[in-house]
Protein backbone atom coordinates (compact mmCIF):
# COMPACT_ATOMS: atom_id res chain seq x y z
CA UNK A 1 0.00 0.00 0.00
CA UNK A 2 1.31 3.45 -0.88
CA UNK A 3 2.01 5.84 1.93
CA UNK A 4 0.82 9.42 1.91
CA UNK A 5 4.37 10.49 1.17
CA UNK A 6 4.62 8.44 -1.99
CA UNK A 7 1.13 9.19 -3.31
CA UNK A 8 1.02 11.83 -6.01
CA UNK A 9 -1.12 14.91 -5.58
CA UNK A 10 -3.30 15.12 -8.73
CA UNK A 11 -3.86 18.86 -8.27
CA UNK A 12 -0.13 19.51 -8.04
CA UNK A 13 0.51 17.31 -11.08
CA UNK A 14 -2.15 19.14 -13.08
CA UNK A 15 -0.66 22.50 -12.09
CA UNK A 16 2.87 21.38 -13.01
CA UNK A 17 1.77 20.09 -16.43
CA UNK A 18 0.02 23.40 -17.17
CA UNK A 19 3.10 25.23 -15.93
CA UNK A 20 5.07 23.40 -18.59
CA UNK A 21 2.55 24.55 -21.19
CA UNK A 22 2.89 28.13 -19.94
CA UNK A 23 6.68 27.83 -20.17
CA UNK A 24 6.46 26.65 -23.79
CA UNK A 25 4.18 29.58 -24.63
CA UNK A 26 6.44 32.07 -22.85
CA UNK A 27 9.57 30.80 -24.60
CA UNK A 28 7.91 30.91 -28.00
CA UNK A 29 6.75 34.51 -27.47
CA UNK A 30 10.11 35.55 -26.04
CA UNK A 31 12.33 34.05 -28.72
CA UNK A 32 10.01 35.11 -31.54
CA UNK A 33 10.37 38.66 -30.23
CA UNK A 34 14.16 38.32 -30.05
CA UNK A 35 14.38 37.06 -33.64
CA UNK A 36 12.04 39.84 -34.78
CA UNK A 37 14.19 42.49 -33.09
CA UNK A 38 17.32 41.11 -34.76
CA UNK A 39 15.65 41.03 -38.19
CA UNK A 40 14.06 44.47 -37.87
CA UNK A 41 17.23 46.11 -36.55
CA UNK A 42 19.10 44.93 -39.61
CA UNK A 43 16.39 46.40 -41.85
CA UNK A 44 15.74 49.57 -39.85
CA UNK A 45 16.53 52.02 -42.64
CA UNK A 46 14.53 50.00 -45.15
CA UNK A 47 11.50 49.75 -42.84
CA UNK A 48 11.56 53.50 -42.25
CA UNK A 49 11.19 54.03 -46.00
CA UNK A 50 8.26 51.67 -46.58
CA UNK A 51 5.51 54.16 -45.66
CA UNK A 52 2.01 52.66 -45.82
CA UNK A 53 3.51 49.21 -46.45
CA UNK A 54 5.22 49.21 -43.04
CA UNK A 55 2.61 46.89 -41.50
CA UNK A 56 3.12 44.31 -44.25
CA UNK A 57 6.90 44.24 -43.86
CA UNK A 58 6.75 44.24 -40.08
CA UNK A 59 4.21 41.41 -39.94
CA UNK A 60 6.22 39.45 -42.51
CA UNK A 61 9.20 39.63 -40.15
CA UNK A 62 7.03 38.47 -37.24
CA UNK A 63 5.73 35.54 -39.32
CA UNK A 64 9.27 34.57 -40.35
CA UNK A 65 10.42 34.81 -36.72
CA UNK A 66 7.53 32.57 -35.65
CA UNK A 67 8.36 29.92 -38.27
CA UNK A 68 12.05 30.08 -37.33
CA UNK A 69 11.15 29.38 -33.69
CA UNK A 70 9.29 26.15 -34.42
CA UNK A 71 12.33 23.80 -34.50
CA UNK A 72 13.71 25.46 -31.38
CA UNK A 73 10.45 25.04 -29.47
CA UNK A 74 10.24 21.39 -30.55
CA UNK A 75 13.71 20.75 -29.10
CA UNK A 76 12.86 22.65 -25.89
CA UNK A 77 9.70 20.56 -25.50
CA UNK A 78 11.76 17.39 -25.94
CA UNK A 79 14.04 18.30 -23.04
CA UNK A 80 11.46 19.85 -20.67
CA UNK A 81 8.50 17.56 -21.43
CA UNK A 82 10.05 14.43 -22.99
CA UNK A 83 7.91 11.76 -24.62
CA UNK A 84 8.81 8.10 -24.52
CA UNK A 85 11.02 7.18 -27.48
CA UNK A 86 11.18 10.71 -28.88
CA UNK A 87 14.31 12.47 -30.11
CA UNK A 88 14.93 16.12 -31.04
CA UNK A 89 14.68 15.12 -34.71
CA UNK A 90 11.32 13.37 -34.31
CA UNK A 91 9.96 16.31 -32.29
CA UNK A 92 10.99 18.76 -35.01
CA UNK A 93 9.43 16.54 -37.67
CA UNK A 94 6.17 16.36 -35.68
CA UNK A 95 6.12 20.12 -35.17
CA UNK A 96 6.70 20.93 -38.83
CA UNK A 97 4.16 18.26 -39.78
CA UNK A 98 1.32 20.71 -38.99
CA UNK A 99 2.01 22.26 -42.41
CA UNK A 100 1.49 18.95 -44.20
CA UNK A 101 -0.68 19.04 -47.34
CA UNK A 102 -1.15 15.86 -49.33
CA UNK A 103 -2.88 15.34 -52.65
CA UNK A 104 -5.68 13.53 -50.85
CA UNK A 105 -6.48 16.07 -48.14
CA UNK A 106 -5.58 19.35 -49.87
CA UNK A 107 -9.11 19.89 -51.19
CA UNK A 108 -10.51 18.78 -47.83
CA UNK A 109 -8.46 21.38 -45.99
CA UNK A 110 -9.73 24.08 -48.34
CA UNK A 111 -13.31 22.90 -47.79
CA UNK A 112 -12.98 23.19 -44.01
CA UNK A 113 -11.35 26.60 -44.30
CA UNK A 114 -14.31 27.87 -46.34
CA UNK A 115 -16.83 26.37 -43.91
CA UNK A 116 -15.14 27.90 -40.86
CA UNK A 117 -14.90 31.29 -42.53
CA UNK A 118 -18.39 31.51 -44.01
CA UNK A 119 -20.40 29.71 -41.33
CA UNK A 120 -18.57 30.68 -38.14
CA UNK A 121 -16.49 33.82 -38.69
CA UNK A 122 -18.56 35.94 -41.06
CA UNK A 123 -21.95 35.75 -39.27
CA UNK A 124 -20.41 36.45 -35.86
CA UNK A 125 -18.43 39.38 -37.26
CA UNK A 126 -21.62 40.82 -38.73
CA UNK A 127 -23.36 40.49 -35.36
CA UNK A 128 -20.40 42.23 -33.69
CA UNK A 129 -20.52 45.20 -36.05
CA UNK A 130 -24.26 45.58 -35.57
CA UNK A 131 -23.64 46.29 -31.87
CA UNK A 132 -23.73 50.11 -31.56
CA UNK A 133 -20.21 51.44 -31.04
CA UNK A 134 -18.38 48.15 -31.75
CA UNK A 135 -17.20 49.12 -35.23
CA UNK A 136 -15.89 52.44 -33.92
CA UNK A 137 -14.06 50.68 -31.06
CA UNK A 138 -12.35 48.19 -33.35
CA UNK A 139 -11.44 50.98 -35.77
CA UNK A 140 -9.73 52.97 -33.01
CA UNK A 141 -8.00 49.82 -31.73
CA UNK A 142 -6.57 48.74 -35.08
CA UNK A 143 -5.49 52.13 -36.44
CA UNK A 144 -3.22 53.27 -33.61
CA UNK A 145 0.05 54.67 -35.09
CA UNK A 146 2.39 53.24 -36.25
CA UNK A 147 -0.01 50.34 -36.91
CA UNK A 148 -2.72 50.54 -39.52
CA UNK A 149 -0.89 52.80 -41.96
CA UNK A 150 -2.28 50.79 -44.90
CA UNK A 151 -5.73 52.16 -44.02
CA UNK A 152 -4.53 55.59 -45.17
CA UNK A 153 -3.89 54.43 -48.76
CA UNK A 154 -6.19 56.31 -51.15
CA UNK A 155 -6.60 53.62 -53.81
CA UNK A 156 -8.87 50.80 -52.65
CA UNK A 157 -7.05 48.22 -54.78
CA UNK A 158 -3.72 49.10 -53.15
CA UNK A 159 -5.32 49.03 -49.71
CA UNK A 160 -6.81 45.60 -50.43
CA UNK A 161 -3.47 44.26 -51.64
CA UNK A 162 -1.72 45.49 -48.50
CA UNK A 163 -4.52 44.13 -46.31
CA UNK A 164 -4.19 40.71 -47.94
CA UNK A 165 -0.45 40.69 -47.23
CA UNK A 166 -0.70 42.07 -43.69
CA UNK A 167 -3.36 39.65 -42.56
CA UNK A 168 -1.87 36.58 -44.18
CA UNK A 169 1.24 37.22 -42.10
CA UNK A 170 -0.83 38.07 -38.99
CA UNK A 171 -2.96 34.94 -39.34
CA UNK A 172 0.15 32.79 -39.85
CA UNK A 173 1.88 34.24 -36.81
CA UNK A 174 -1.17 33.98 -34.54
CA UNK A 175 -2.19 30.48 -35.59
CA UNK A 176 1.35 29.24 -35.08
CA UNK A 177 1.46 30.72 -31.58
CA UNK A 178 -2.00 29.76 -30.31
CA UNK A 179 -2.64 26.48 -32.11
CA UNK A 180 0.62 25.42 -33.75
CA UNK A 181 2.77 25.71 -30.63
CA UNK A 182 0.70 26.27 -27.50
CA UNK A 183 -2.02 23.72 -28.22
CA UNK A 184 0.13 21.28 -30.23
CA UNK A 185 2.99 21.12 -27.74
CA UNK A 186 0.85 21.38 -24.62
CA UNK A 187 -1.81 18.78 -25.41
CA UNK A 188 0.48 15.85 -24.68
CA UNK A 189 0.84 16.81 -21.02
CA UNK A 190 -2.39 18.63 -20.11
CA UNK A 191 -4.73 16.66 -22.37
CA UNK A 192 -6.33 17.59 -25.67
CA UNK A 193 -9.39 19.34 -24.29
CA UNK A 194 -7.49 21.34 -21.68
CA UNK A 195 -5.00 22.46 -24.35
CA UNK A 196 -7.95 23.57 -26.48
CA UNK A 197 -9.52 25.58 -23.64
CA UNK A 198 -6.26 27.21 -22.52
CA UNK A 199 -5.23 28.23 -26.05
CA UNK A 200 -8.76 29.50 -26.89
CA UNK A 201 -8.96 31.53 -23.68
CA UNK A 202 -5.52 32.99 -24.34
CA UNK A 203 -6.52 33.83 -27.92
CA UNK A 204 -9.75 35.53 -26.86
CA UNK A 205 -8.15 37.56 -24.08
CA UNK A 206 -5.49 38.86 -26.48
CA UNK A 207 -8.33 40.80 -28.16
CA UNK A 208 -9.33 42.31 -24.82
CA UNK A 209 -5.82 43.78 -24.57
CA UNK A 210 -6.71 46.52 -27.05
CA UNK A 211 -8.73 48.19 -24.30
CA UNK A 212 -5.53 49.10 -22.47
CA UNK A 213 -4.61 51.46 -25.32
CA UNK A 214 -7.57 53.65 -24.35
CA UNK A 215 -9.25 52.72 -21.07
CA UNK A 216 -11.74 55.59 -21.43
CA UNK A 217 -13.70 53.40 -23.86
CA UNK A 218 -16.61 51.27 -22.51
CA UNK A 219 -15.26 47.96 -21.25
CA UNK A 220 -18.11 45.90 -22.71
CA UNK A 221 -16.65 46.33 -26.22
CA UNK A 222 -13.40 44.47 -25.45
CA UNK A 223 -15.36 41.96 -23.34
CA UNK A 224 -17.50 41.08 -26.38
CA UNK A 225 -14.43 41.02 -28.61
CA UNK A 226 -12.71 38.66 -26.17
CA UNK A 227 -15.78 36.43 -25.87
CA UNK A 228 -16.14 36.11 -29.64
CA UNK A 229 -12.38 35.49 -29.82
CA UNK A 230 -12.72 32.62 -27.32
CA UNK A 231 -15.50 31.14 -29.45
CA UNK A 232 -13.42 31.46 -32.62
CA UNK A 233 -10.46 29.97 -30.77
CA UNK A 234 -12.49 26.96 -29.65
CA UNK A 235 -13.72 26.28 -33.18
CA UNK A 236 -10.23 26.56 -34.66
CA UNK A 237 -8.70 24.50 -31.87
CA UNK A 238 -11.25 21.71 -32.23
CA UNK A 239 -10.48 21.46 -35.93
CA UNK A 240 -6.76 21.37 -35.23
CA UNK A 241 -7.33 18.76 -32.53
CA UNK A 242 -9.07 16.56 -35.11
CA UNK A 243 -6.73 16.94 -38.08
CA UNK A 244 -3.42 18.33 -36.85
CA UNK A 245 -3.34 20.61 -39.92
CA UNK A 246 -2.87 24.35 -39.55
CA UNK A 247 -3.43 25.68 -43.09
CA UNK A 248 -7.28 25.76 -42.89
CA UNK A 249 -7.12 27.86 -39.71
CA UNK A 250 -4.65 30.26 -41.28
CA UNK A 251 -6.87 30.65 -44.35
CA UNK A 252 -10.12 31.16 -42.40
CA UNK A 253 -8.41 33.58 -40.01
CA UNK A 254 -6.81 35.45 -42.92
CA UNK A 255 -9.98 35.85 -44.97
CA UNK A 256 -11.97 36.98 -41.94
CA UNK A 257 -9.41 39.62 -41.01
CA UNK A 258 -9.46 41.01 -44.55
CA UNK A 259 -13.26 41.30 -44.51
CA UNK A 260 -13.01 43.11 -41.15
CA UNK A 261 -10.49 45.58 -42.56
CA UNK A 262 -12.85 46.33 -45.46
CA UNK A 263 -15.54 47.20 -42.90
CA UNK A 264 -13.12 49.43 -41.00
CA UNK A 265 -11.86 51.10 -44.18
CA UNK A 266 -15.43 51.83 -45.26
CA UNK A 267 -16.26 53.26 -41.84
CA UNK A 268 -13.18 55.51 -41.95
CA UNK A 269 -14.43 57.03 -45.21
CA UNK A 270 -17.92 57.73 -43.86
CA UNK A 271 -17.54 57.88 -40.02
CA UNK A 272 -21.12 56.60 -39.97
CA UNK A 273 -21.42 53.04 -38.65
CA UNK A 274 -25.07 52.66 -39.63
CA UNK A 275 -24.54 53.60 -43.28
CA UNK A 276 -21.34 51.54 -43.38
CA UNK A 277 -23.04 48.35 -42.19
CA UNK A 278 -26.13 48.98 -44.31
CA UNK A 279 -23.93 49.19 -47.40
CA UNK A 280 -21.61 46.31 -46.46
CA UNK A 281 -24.51 44.17 -45.32
CA UNK A 282 -25.94 44.13 -48.81
CA UNK A 283 -22.75 44.07 -50.89
CA UNK A 284 -20.45 41.96 -48.69
CA UNK A 285 -21.80 40.20 -45.59
CA UNK A 286 -25.15 38.90 -46.85
CA UNK A 287 -23.65 37.52 -50.09
CA UNK A 288 -20.95 35.75 -48.05
CA UNK A 289 -23.54 34.37 -45.63
CA UNK A 290 -25.63 33.18 -48.59
CA UNK A 291 -22.56 31.36 -49.97
CA UNK A 292 -22.08 29.82 -46.54
CA UNK A 293 -25.68 28.57 -46.48
CA UNK A 294 -25.23 26.99 -49.92
CA UNK A 295 -22.00 25.29 -48.85
CA UNK A 296 -23.61 24.19 -45.57
CA UNK A 297 -26.36 22.45 -47.54
CA UNK A 298 -23.89 20.91 -49.96
CA UNK A 299 -21.54 19.76 -47.18
CA UNK A 300 -24.19 19.11 -44.52
CA UNK A 301 -22.70 15.74 -43.58
CA UNK A 302 -19.38 17.39 -42.76
CA UNK A 303 -21.14 19.95 -40.59
CA UNK A 304 -23.18 17.24 -38.91
CA UNK A 305 -20.04 15.30 -38.02
CA UNK A 306 -18.41 18.49 -36.71
CA UNK A 307 -21.45 19.29 -34.54
CA UNK A 308 -21.38 15.79 -33.04
CA UNK A 309 -17.67 16.14 -32.35
CA UNK A 310 -18.16 19.48 -30.58
CA UNK A 311 -20.97 18.04 -28.45
CA UNK A 312 -18.87 15.00 -27.56
CA UNK A 313 -15.81 17.06 -26.62
CA UNK A 314 -17.82 19.51 -24.51
CA UNK A 315 -19.41 16.64 -22.56
CA UNK A 316 -16.03 14.98 -22.12
CA UNK A 317 -14.41 18.19 -20.89
CA UNK A 318 -17.17 18.97 -18.37
CA UNK A 319 -16.74 15.48 -16.85
CA UNK A 320 -13.21 16.39 -15.78
CA UNK A 321 -12.49 17.17 -12.13
CA UNK A 322 -13.47 20.76 -11.36
CA UNK A 323 -9.93 21.63 -10.27
CA UNK A 324 -8.65 20.88 -13.78
CA UNK A 325 -11.18 23.25 -15.35
CA UNK A 326 -10.23 25.88 -12.76
CA UNK A 327 -6.53 25.43 -13.54
CA UNK A 328 -7.22 25.73 -17.27
CA UNK A 329 -8.82 29.12 -16.67
CA UNK A 330 -6.00 30.25 -14.36
CA UNK A 331 -3.24 29.25 -16.79
CA UNK A 332 -5.11 30.72 -19.77
CA UNK A 333 -5.19 33.99 -17.84
CA UNK A 334 -1.54 33.52 -16.92
CA UNK A 335 -0.44 33.15 -20.53
CA UNK A 336 -2.39 36.25 -21.45
CA UNK A 337 -0.72 38.21 -18.63
CA UNK A 338 2.71 37.07 -19.89
CA UNK A 339 1.91 38.32 -23.39
CA UNK A 340 0.47 41.57 -22.03
CA UNK A 341 3.51 42.28 -19.87
CA UNK A 342 5.94 41.44 -22.69
CA UNK A 343 4.12 43.80 -25.05
CA UNK A 344 4.06 46.61 -22.51
CA UNK A 345 0.31 46.55 -22.13
CA UNK A 346 0.47 47.07 -18.36
> pLDDT of 113-130, one tens digit each?
999 999 999 999 999 999
Give the model confidence (pLDDT) of 28-87 as tens digits: 989 999 999 999 999 999 999 999 999 999 999 999 999 999 999 998 888 877 777 788
Q: For Cα atoms 211, 235, 231, give the angle at the middle one, nearest 5 degrees.
A: 30
Q: Is the confidence at residue 236, as pLDDT, over 50?
A: yes
Q: Which pLDDT value is given to residue 2? A: 45
Q: Is 177 helix (H, G, I), strand (E, B) or coil?
A: helix
Rounded CA Rg of the chain: 21
* Omega before 146 within 30 of 0, i.e. cis: yes
Using a pLDDT cut of 90, give the percent of the chain over it: 54
Element of type H or E holding 160: helix 156-175
In whole angstroms, what is the distance from residue 156 CA to residue 283 CA?
Answer: 16
pLDDT given for residue 1 in this prediction: 44
| pLDDT for position 241 | 80
Alpha-carbon span 93 to 322, nearest angstrom: 35
Would you say 47 and 57 are in contact if contact means Cβ atoms under 8 Å apart? yes
Q: Calculate the average pLDDT of the chain.
A: 89
CA–CA separation, 225 and 53 (whole Å): 27
Is residue 346 predicted with pLDDT exceeding 50?
no
**pLDDT bucket at 246, cuts 50 / 70 / 90:** very high
**SS3 (DSSP) at 84:** coil
The per-type count for the chain, helices as H runs and strands as E runs, is: 16, 0
pLDDT of amino acid 170: 96
Quote helix, strand, coil % in the chain, to nearest 5: 85, 0, 15
Q: Are 190 and 18 in contact (CB under 8 A)?
A: yes
Burial track 187-207 (b if 16+ CB lie within 10 A, e otherwise): bbbbbbbbbbbbbbbbbbbbb
- 298-305: Cβ within 8 A, 24+ apart: 299/111, 299/115, 302/111, 302/112, 302/115, 303/115, 303/119
Which pLDDT does position 25 carry in this prediction?
A: 86
Task: With CA atoms as reference, report the closest residue to 170 among 94, 57, 7.
Answer: 57
pLDDT of residue 122: 96
Which whole number is the average pLDDT over 205-234?
91
Helices (H), 131-246: 134-142, 156-175, 184-190, 192-208, 220-243
Judged against a pLDDT cut of 90, whether residue 344 lies above it is answered with: no
Distance CA 236, CA 97 (A): 17
Three-state DSSP class for 8? coil
Which pTM value belongs to this model?
0.92
275 three-state secondary structure: helix
Average pLDDT over every residue of 157-169: 96
pLDDT for 299 equals: 92
Which residue, among 174, 319, 309, has the nearest Cα to 243 in the 3D structure?
309
Answer yes or no: is pLDDT of 103 > 80. no
Amino acid sequence: MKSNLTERDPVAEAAISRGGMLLIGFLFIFFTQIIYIVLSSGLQDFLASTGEALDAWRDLLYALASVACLPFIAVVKHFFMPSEGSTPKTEITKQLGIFSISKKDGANQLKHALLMWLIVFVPLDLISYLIPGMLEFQTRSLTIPPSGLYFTVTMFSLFLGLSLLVHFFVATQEELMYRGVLQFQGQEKVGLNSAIVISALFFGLSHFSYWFNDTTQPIYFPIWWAASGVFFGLMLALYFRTTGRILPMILAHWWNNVVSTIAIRTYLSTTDAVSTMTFLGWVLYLPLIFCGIVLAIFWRRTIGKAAKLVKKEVKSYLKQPRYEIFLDIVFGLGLWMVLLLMSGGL
